Amino acid sequence: MSARPIPPTSELTEPYWDAARRGELVVQRCERCGQRPFPPRAHCPGCGGPSLSWAPVSGRGTVHSYTVAHRPPHPVFAAQLPLVVAIVELEEGPRMVTNLVDCDPADLEVGMAVEARFEPIDDADMVLPVFTPTRRPGSTGTA
């Protein structure tokens, strides 16, 4: 559980948040051209197609960039410093803003493999997809 600005959902985005509550990451897919747009929307930004269906993604990706924040970007994060904010590129292509959790900030690198985790938000019936470095088989440690 962590304190967060609570995401204001919409009818269109509810399937994304419902999936997160189930521990799944889903991203839209354009039925016409196959593009995977993010954040969710009504029309494909690639071809204008009006049919975007929800489809699961692997939850695996790589770190496109990250920063370790030593001051809270918003007071709600004051007890969670240092906060690692990142952009993760999913295996399936789309990039999303996220946090990297369960990691030592000193070990982070651009390009490192990460996988999705799901973190309940304080005081809300919502679960937020976050990411953590992928543990390679045979590696030791509890991170």
Partner 1 sequence: MSLRGTAAVIGLAERAPQRYTGNETNLDLLSGVAVEAMADAGIDRAEVDGLLVHPIGGLPGFVPATVAEFVGLRPRFAEVVDLGGATGAGMVWRAAAAIGAGMCTTCLCLTGTRRRRRRASPRTSGAEPSSTVHQPRSNPPTRDRSPHAEFDAPYGLIGANVGYALLATRYAHEYELSDAQRAKVAVDQRRNANANPAAIFHDQPLTIDDVLGSEVICEPLHMLEIVMPAAGAAALVVTAADRVVDAAQPPAWLLGAGEAVTHSSLAQAPDLGETGIGVAARAAFSMAGVGPSEIGLASLYDCYTIMVLLTLEEAGFCKAGEAGAFVESHDLSYAGDFPLNSHGGQLSFGQAGMAGGMSHVTEAVRQIQGRGGERQVQGLEVAYAHGNGGIIAEQVGLVFGAGR
Q: Which is nearer to partner 1, 7 or 49 (CB)?
A: 7
Reading the block at residue 122, the tokens are 């304080």
Shortest reach from residue 96's CB to partner 1, in Å: 5
Shortest reach from residue 7's CB to partner 1, in Å: 4
Q: Which is nearer to partner 1, 8 or 137 (CB)?
A: 8
Pick one of 98, 114, 116, 133: the residue that binds partner 1 (CB under 8 A).
Answer: 98
Rule CB under 8 A: say whether 3 interacts with partner 1. yes
Rule CB under 8 A: say whether 103 interacts with partner 1. no
Rule CB under 8 A: say whether 78 interacts with partner 1. yes
Q: Using CB atoms within 10 Å of the CB of residue 125, give its burial: 0 to 12 exposed, 13 to 18 middle, 19+ buried.
A: exposed
- Phi-psi region for residue 106, left (φ > 0), alpha (ψ -120 to 50) or beta? alpha
Give bridge partners of residue 99 from the DSSP assignment: 85
Taking the C-alpha atoms of residue 82 and residue 99, their distance in angstroms, rounded to an integer, is 11
Shortest reach from residue 53's CB to partner 1, in Å: 19
- Phi-psi region for residue 35, left (φ > 0), alpha (ψ -120 to 50) or beta? beta
x/- letters, 35..64, toward partner 1 (CB under 8 A): ---xx------------------------x
Which run of H or of E encompasses 17? helix 14-21
Instruction: Classify residue 52 by its DSSP letter.
Output: E
Under the rule (CB under 8 A), what is the footprint of partner 1?
3-14, 38-39, 64-79, 83, 85-87, 95-99, 105, 110-111, 121, 123-125, 128, 130
